[in-house]
Structure 1
Amino acid sequence: MAQHLDLEEQEQLDELKHFWKQYGNLITWALIVVLGAFAAWNGYQYWQRSQAAQASVMFDEIERAVQSGETARIDRALADMKERFGSTAYAQQAGLLAAKAHYDKGNVDAARAALTWVADKAADPGYQAVAKLRLAGILLEKKAYDEALQQVSGAFPKDFSGLVADRRGDILMAQGKKTEAKAEYEKAYKALDERAEYRRLVEVKLNALGVDPAAGQVKLATAENAGANK
């Protein structure tokens, strides 16, 4: 009986040796790949956390520079942040913050440069949209209408559709294109939330063009109710 068991064990051992000889290298390399990928993922996560922590510290430095009103210090800190942590959300926030600080001090060219960087480099579509809208506003003030329209063309996140249409309306209005401007303001009015204060501003612009969007919506609702009751 013992000899029979020994033979079975020997057969199993021989099978295992044969299996390992045939597939051992493949299994070993598969394990190396899996473990290597796991280690790389952990390393990447650590690197991201480290980058975010360092970028946060530099963002605080830009905030302090903005509060002190030292534009040269703002530029140095932003340039350093763009070079070292340009792909982080902190860098994009810093670009918008620096642009506002420069604009408030009348440094329009510096504000435009900061906004252009965010519009071109931001990975987050929300930050990119904000930068483009503000950049379009600056270009509108400089009467660079074609450039301003380029900034508010193309795809934008849905939440920004009302603001984008309103800005297009402002640019077209400045060009004297009242019909096109009215169409954009109407798009903006429909896209903006009814509770948004900004919607009231768009309504005022439409009123100035002889349009009462609120009355139009009441008529539309009345017509829809009448149709439903038939």
Structure 2
Amino acid sequence: MAPQNLDLEEQEQLATLKGWWHDNGNFVLALIAAVSLGIAAWQGWNWYQRNHAFQASALYESLARGVRAGDAKAVRDASGTLAESYPRTLYAAMGTLTSARFLADRGEAKNAKAQLEWVIERATSADFRDLARLRLVALLLDEKAYDAALKQLEAKPAGAYAAQFEAARGDVLFAKGEASEAKAAYREALNKAGTGNDALRQSLQLRIDALGG
């Protein structure tokens, strides 16, 4: 009798399962299809991201070769494509910073500033934005555009650049003829400089000493 009872139980379970499948089968199939599509989309997105990064990397290498060769057209073309087609990649920020340095060294300050402003406005990395601000401040300082330089330094930098921002502020204030304010900025920079940044600390101390300690 036990086997017969077991068969009946199995038949009841099978009937229950068939009924459940009849009521929910379409939903389950749709769910499986949705999950499969989601996996495929995720894999496709990962492929796109890898391919996107690879193409941006190739353009950055082209830009770097242009810099080494002194080929201004190659540098402009590569940096322009990076900024236009791959703006959210790190390669776009690195390429634009490299291009700005190249242009500044060639005496094209106006174009270099435009490149640095692009990084400040568009780069996804705070470190790159801070570095671009510091380089822009240096160009503005050369032009004696002191107020514009100080305006750039109002931005709050990442911790790694805090001391350099204060040091740059001191340089601008000193050039502006505000020696006491410059010394205060140098002292603040010295306070913010890490113990491992000996070169910066020594440079700051020399500037402070030159202003009377």
Q: State the match for 2:173 in structure 1.
A: 172
Q: How does 1:96-175 map to 2 (within 5 A)?
A: 96-175=97-176
Q: How does 1:42-121 map to 2 (within 5 A)?
A: 42-121=43-122
Shift of residue 25, structure 1, vs aligned partner = 4.4
Q: State the match for 1:181 in structure 2.
A: 182
> Number of residues paired by the alignment?
211
Q: State the match for 1:199 in structure 2.
A: 201
Task: Give RMSD over aligned pairs.
Answer: 1.9
Shift of residue 115, structure 1, vs aligned partner = 1.0
Stretches of structure 1 that go unaligned for 5 or more consecutive residues are 212-230
Shift of residue 193, structure 1, vs aligned partner = 2.6
- 1:31 & 1:153 partners in 2: Cα distance? 54
Q: Which amino acid aligns with 1:176?
A: G
Deviates more, 1:70-79 or 1:159-168: 70-79
Shift of residue 34, structure 1, vs aligned partner = 3.3
Deviates more, 1:43-52 or 1:32-41: 32-41
Q: State the match for 1:222 in structure 2.
A: none
Q: Which amino acid aligns with 1:205?
A: R
- 1:184 & 1:154 partners in 2: Cα distance? 15
Shift of residue 178, structure 1, vs aligned partner = 2.5
Identity over aligned residues, as a percent?
35
- 2:185 & 2:4 partners in 1: Cα distance? 93
Q: Which amino acid aligns with 1:90?
A: Y
Distance 1:181 1:25, change over 3 A: farther
Q: Which amino acid aligns with 1:206?
A: I
Shift of residue 180, structure 1, vs aligned partner = 2.4
- 2:184 & 2:23 partners in 1: Cα distance? 72
Q: Which amino acid aligns with 1:198?
A: L
Q: State the match for 1:218 in structure 2.
A: none
- 1:79 & 1:113 partners in 2: Cα distance? 12
Deviates more, 1:174-183 or 1:29-38: 29-38
Shift of residue 22, structure 1, vs aligned partner = 4.4
TM-score by length of 2: 0.90
Distance 1:17 1:202, change over 3 A: same
Q: State the match for 1:14 in structure 2.
A: 15
Distance 1:22 1:176, change over 3 A: farther
Shift of residue 31, structure 1, vs aligned partner = 3.4
Q: State the match for 1:223 in structure 2.
A: none
Q: Which amino acid aligns with 2:93?
A: Q
TM-score by length of 1: 0.83
Distance 1:183 1:18, change over 3 A: farther
Secondary structure of the equivalent of 1:143? Answer: coil
Q: Which amino acid aligns with 1:65?
A: G
Deviates more, 1:55-64 or 1:70-79: 70-79
Q: Deviations over 1:62-119 (max 9, x none)?
A: 1111112122221122112212222111111111111111111111111111111111
